[in-house]
């Protein structure tokens, strides 16, 4: 049959990225406690299109993800984007994947178990210059306002917040990124707020978390600084971006803060100061 996409295009305009998005697919990701976890991912798969091709072959994106659905993680994504690039004869291939990741949590006092969902993201890309990989997790937290606590006769306003940690891992011999578990990012995120959030709490648990938050007030600035302070000690991490946002309980706006930076600015080609090392302004 006629290959319309492969026809010559004379408009002299290469396309940066073209592909499919909003593709929902069952995949299996690495789980620190149980080795594997099945989840449903929403995917965006794309390639760069040379100027002389009229279009790309959209069906091949689905073919490639179906072939690799049994394991999608830091170890396999580089080979998945490499396959995309080869299959579609492209100089650039990119995969973005968002998925819920479940971790069993024990309530702080009653120790009752329940499953907590964390929204996570993988981004992988390959070009002639090499491959890139980012893993991110969004962690819900409680924050209690230090200012409110300081000026009130009793109590302090608190709210739900989120801290999103995104990292690029250092490379191992052979080029694969070092393994940084989602669970590790979650633990750091939860330690950065006033108190963690749980799906299941009894009264004794609520009491414990309420008092814990009161004893550990935190602005969004405190949240990002605490998280970066821990992450920059980890030699497996080459780049990070930490964002915190609180859904304010007594304002009609949200508050946010963000820190990002490279461990090795010279290697990254980034002009910003080395914020991970604390030398940035």
Domains of the chain and any CATH numbers: 9-99 (3.10.270.10), 129-281 (3.10.270.10)
pLDDT at 17 over 70: yes
CB 194 within 8 A of CB 142: yes
What is the C-alpha separation between 241 and 229, in angstroms, rounded?
Answer: 12
Q: How far apart are CA 237 and CA 229, in angstroms?
A: 12
Across residues 68-96, what is the average pLDDT?
84
Question: Quick one: which of 228, 260, 262, 221 has its CA closest to 244?
Answer: 221
Name every residue whose Cβ is closer than 8 Å to that of residue 86 and which is 6 or more positions away in sequence. Answer: none
The pTM of this model reads: 0.85
Q: Mind listing the pLDDT tens digit for each residue in 176-215?
A: 788 899 999 999 999 999 999 999 999 999 999 999 999 9
């Amino acid at each position: 049959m006629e290959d319309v996409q492969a026809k010559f295009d004379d408009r002299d305009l290469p396309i940066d990225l073209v592909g499919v998005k909003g593709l929902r697919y069952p995949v299996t990701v690495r789980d620190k406690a149980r080795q594997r976890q099945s989840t449903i991912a929403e995917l965006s798969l794309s390639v760069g299109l040379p100027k002389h091709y009229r279009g790309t072959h959209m069906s091949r994106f689905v073919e490639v993800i179906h072939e690799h659905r049994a394991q999608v993680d830091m170890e396999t994504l580089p080979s998945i984007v490499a396959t995309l690039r080869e299959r579609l004869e492209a100089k650039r291939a990119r995969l973005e994947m968002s998925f819920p990741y479940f971790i069993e949590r024990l309530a702080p006092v009653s120790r009752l178990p329940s499953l907590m969902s964390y929204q996570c993201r993988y981004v992988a890309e390959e070009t002639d210059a090499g491959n890139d990989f980012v893993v991110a997790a969004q962690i819900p937290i409680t924050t209690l306002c230090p200012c409110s606590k300081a000026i009130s006769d009793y109590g302090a306003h608190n709210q739900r917040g989120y801290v999103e940690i995104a990292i690029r891992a250092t490379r191992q011999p052979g080029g694969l990124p070092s393994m940084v578990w989602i669970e590790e990012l979650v633990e750091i995120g939860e330690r950065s707020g006033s108190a963690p959030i749980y799906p299941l709490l009894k009264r004794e648990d609520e009491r414990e978390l309420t008092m814990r938050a009161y004893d550990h007030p935190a602005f969004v600035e405190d949240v990002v600084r605490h998280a970066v302070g821990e992450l920059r000690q980890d030699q497996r991490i080459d780049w990070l971006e930490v964002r915190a946002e609180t859904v304010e309980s007594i304002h009609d706006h949200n508050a946010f803060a963000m820190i990002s930076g490279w461990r090795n600015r010279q290697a990254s080609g980034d002009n910003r100061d080395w914020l991970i090392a604390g030398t940035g302004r």
